[in-house]
Structure 1
Amino acid sequence: MTTKPLIDYFEKHLPLSEEERSIVGNYFKERRVKRRQFILQEGDICKHNTFIVEGCFRMYLVDQKGREHNLQFAVEHWWIGDIGSFHSEEPSKLHIEALENSIILQIKKEDQLKLFVDFPKFNRIFRVLAENGMVSLQNRILQNISSTAEERYLDFLDRYPYFFNRISNVQIASYLGVTPEFLSTIRKKISKS
């Protein structure tokens, strides 16, 4: 199993003991996911917290009119999951789909809780991850209510340059809250300036 990227990730936050490094494989399960395969669909309960070893995913909602609204993209060494469904154990309103063939490491809720009890350092690491996620979400909400679509697009380009060969312009437009046509207009305007 490929746990080294996850161990390296954890150690960016706090150094692990040899025992802590060795038990990661006991709690996380490796899974290979094909392009366009779902690891979560609307109506399912999110039973795993997912770390991406290799690949690219998107998390999105389909509204009553059938329009997709991308909430998150995630690539190597990022986490993805419906936190609300994971913690409440209620059905999700979201889909999580692989955009590429991928390798992931997943931990079940009960295993994550056991990991926190048995090895408290992981509880501290996951708390930092949750705090960082809240900061990112807060910044995204502030940007969405205070920036123009062009400013949001330029920020997306600057912040996430590694997404551009991996996700479609239609998906980027959805993430930014604009139509693909409007995004095309923004891109043409930027290329002329």
Structure 2
Amino acid sequence: MENNIKSLIPLLKSLILGAEDEDINAFLKICNLVVLKNKEAIIKSNKKGTKAFFILKGTIRGYLINNKGVEKNIFLRPTYTFMGAPNALFNEEVSKYTFEAIGETELLVFEFNDLESLALKNPTILKFYLSAYKEIVQTLTYRIESMINKMPEDRYEDLLQKSPQFFKTVYHKDIANYLGITPVSLSRIMKRKLEKK
């Protein structure tokens, strides 16, 4: 496994601008490489969730169970993004969310506090951490605004434009759930779009 982690150095150097080998090695020292099978969870609801992860391959969905017992997708996270259970990471609570793989997924998993400690000592890792943090905030803010202001067809168009990879890797039922519509409505929207071409 250690050889597999070391082989990630060139990839991470291409993703972390200005990083030297020692910066990447410092980050990798706090990480474990984890491979998940389809529908395998990395974080489960009602469990302690102090770990965060960086997705190397695949997609992770984060969902909660609402008060009617229905799964609601809150997060769809693609390759080369960070994630963790926000309430568990920041407030030391049990996770509200379950995060599971869609298809085979590879992750670098680490204790969130370890990343913060490393970032305080290493300016390059701090920039990487802050850019990841900004991306998550922008994604969630946009998602909230989209759910408030846009019609389902517009939300579909936005997701297709911003994250076309989801339509190749994510089940349509999970995309529909993420968009706040039924799978049947998603199929109708997709059919209408194809007919207009």
TM-score exceeds 0.5? yes
Kindly indicate whether residue 125 of structure 2 is the aligned counterpart of residue 122 of structure 1. yes
Q: Deviations over 1:106-139 (max 9, x none)?
A: 1212311321233133223212221222122222
For residues 24 and 191 of structure 2, what CA distance do their matches in structure 1 show?
Answer: 49
CA RMSD of aligned residues (A): 1.7
For residues 124 and 76 of structure 1, what CA distance do their matches in structure 2 show?
Answer: 19
Amino acid at match of 1:9: L
Aligned pairs (5 A) from 1:24-43: 24-43=27-46
Match of 1:132 in 2: 135
More moved, 112-121 vs 38-47: 112-121
Kindly indicate whether residue 16 of structure 2 is the aligned counterpart of residue 10 of structure 1. yes
For residues 85 and 3 of structure 1, what CA distance do their matches in structure 2 show?
Answer: 28
Q: 1:152 deviation in Å?
A: 0.7
Match of 1:67 in 2: 70
Kindly indicate whether residue 84 of structure 2 is the aligned counterpart of residue 81 of structure 1. yes
Q: 1:34 deviation in Å?
A: 1.7
Match of 1:171 in 2: 174
For residues 87 and 123 of structure 2, what CA distance do their matches in structure 1 show?
Answer: 23
Q: 1:37 deviation in Å?
A: 0.8
Match of 1:188 in 2: 191
Amino acid at match of 1:52: I
Per the alignment, do residues 27 and 190 of structure 1 end up closer, same or farther by CA in structure 2, a change over 3 Å counting?
A: same
Identity %: 25
The residue matched to 2:169 in structure 1 has which SS?
coil
Between the two proteins, the alignment pairs up a number of residues equal to 190
Q: 1:166 deviation in Å?
A: 1.2
Alignment check: 8 A CA contact 1:40 1:94 kept: yes
Q: Give the gaps of 5 or more residues in structure 2.
A: none
The residue matched to 2:103 in structure 1 has which SS?
coil
Amino acid at match of 1:3: L
Alignment check: 8 A CA contact 2:59 2:78 kept: yes
Moved over 3 A (4+): none
For residues 150 and 120 of structure 2, what CA distance do their matches in structure 1 show?
Answer: 43
For residues 61 and 81 of structure 1, what CA distance do their matches in structure 2 show?
Answer: 13
Aligned pairs (5 A) from 1:50-61: 50-61=53-64
Alignment check: 8 A CA contact 1:44 1:92 kept: yes
Q: Deviations over 1:77-114 (max 9, x none)?
A: 12221122112110111110111122210121231132
Q: 1:21 deviation in Å?
A: 2.7
Match of 2:159 among 156, 159, 176: 156
**TM-score of the pair, normalised by structure 1:** 0.89
Amino acid at match of 2:195: K
Kindly indicate whether residue 114 of structure 2 is the aligned counterpart of residue 111 of structure 1. yes
For residues 178 and 40 of structure 1, what CA distance do their matches in structure 2 show?
Answer: 25
